């Protein structure tokens, strides 16, 4: 009786997954955004020579737990099968859009590979510049209106 050789695991190792919240937040704050029909991809180049990592976020607004976990599996499998397409030494976060459930694994794979490929071709992707001056404030401007009211304007 012969023993069958052990099959190599095809699972995505933990070193190639984003697991910590701080990593997700770092990619969200500093990464480039790529918009697709069902996903928004955030890509942050680490430049440290380590393998690329993937993280997936699927809100409850996308569907029930069965749907959410299926979408996560499809995204991770797309990353695993197409590592050469994804940028090297980078962190990628895929965020599923609310109410947009991909029809199949092929739809997920096509969209993600297309998004990543177009981002590679447009190396000079623009990011929205941050305003550094102190004169532009957020909000409704209520402070300015209340000041004007008190000054008799």
**What's the confidence (pLDDT) of residue 125?**
43
Calpha distance 153→150 (Å, rounded) = 7
- Domain assignment present for residue 143? The answer is no
- Per the structure, the count of domains in the chain is 1
Contact criterion met (CB below 8 Å) for 78 and 112: yes
Please answer whether residues 12 and 79 qualify as being in contact, where contact means their C-beta atoms are separated by less than 8 angstroms. Answer: yes
What pLDDT shows up at residue 124?
40
pLDDT tens for 115-142 read 988 876 554 444 454 555 544 555 555 5
Residue 151 pLDDT: 54
Residue 2 included in any domain: no
Residues near 51 by Cβ (< 8 Å), separated by ≥ 6?
A: 15, 16, 83, 88, 89
pLDDT of res. 2? 62
Q: Is residue 134 part of a domain?
A: no
User: What interhelical angle do 65-81 and 105-121 show, nearest 10?
Assistant: 50
Other Cβ atoms within 10 Å of 117 Cβ, number:
12
Confidence of residue 100 (pLDDT cuts 50, 70, 90): confident
- Give the pLDDT band of residue 4 (cuts 50, 70, 90): low
Write the pLDDT tens digit of every residue in 28-77: 999 999 999 999 999 999 888 888 999 999 999 998 999 999 999 999 99
* CATH assignment of the domain containing 61: 3.30.230.10
Main-chain phi, psi angles of 146, to 5 degrees: -70, -35
In a domain, 46, yes or no: yes
Q: What span, in angstroms and rounded, lies between the C-alpha atoms of 49 and 93?
A: 18
Residue 88 pLDDT > 60, yes or no?
yes
Over range 10-29, report the average pLDDT.
91
Q: Which domain holds residue 25?
A: 14-117
Find, among 59, 73, 57, 68, the residue nearest to 23 by Cα.
57
Tell me how far apart the alpha carbons of residues 2 and 111 are, in angstroms, rounded to a whole number: 44
| Model pLDDT, residue 49 | 85
Asked if residue 37 belongs to a domain, the reply is: yes
């Amino acid at each position: 009786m012969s023993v069958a050789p052990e099959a190599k695991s095809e699972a995505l190792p933990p070193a190639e997954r984003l697991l910590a919240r701080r990593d997700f937040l770092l990619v969200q704050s500093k990464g480039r955004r790529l918009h697709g029909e069902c996903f928004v991809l955030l890509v942050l180049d680490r430049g440290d020579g380590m393998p690329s990592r993937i993280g997936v976020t699927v809100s409850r607004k996308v569907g029930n737990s069965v749907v959410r976990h299926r979408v996560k599996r499809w995204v991770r499998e797309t990353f695993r099968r197409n590592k050469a397409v994804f940028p090297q030494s980078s962190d990628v976060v895929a965020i599923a859009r609310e109410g947009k459930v991909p029809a199949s694994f092929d739809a997920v794979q096509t969209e993600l590979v297309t998004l990543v490929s177009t981002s590679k071709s447009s190396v000079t992707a623009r990011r929205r510049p941050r305003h550094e001056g102190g004169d532009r404030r957020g909000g409704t401007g209520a402070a300015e209106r209340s000041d004007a009211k008190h000054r008799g304007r």
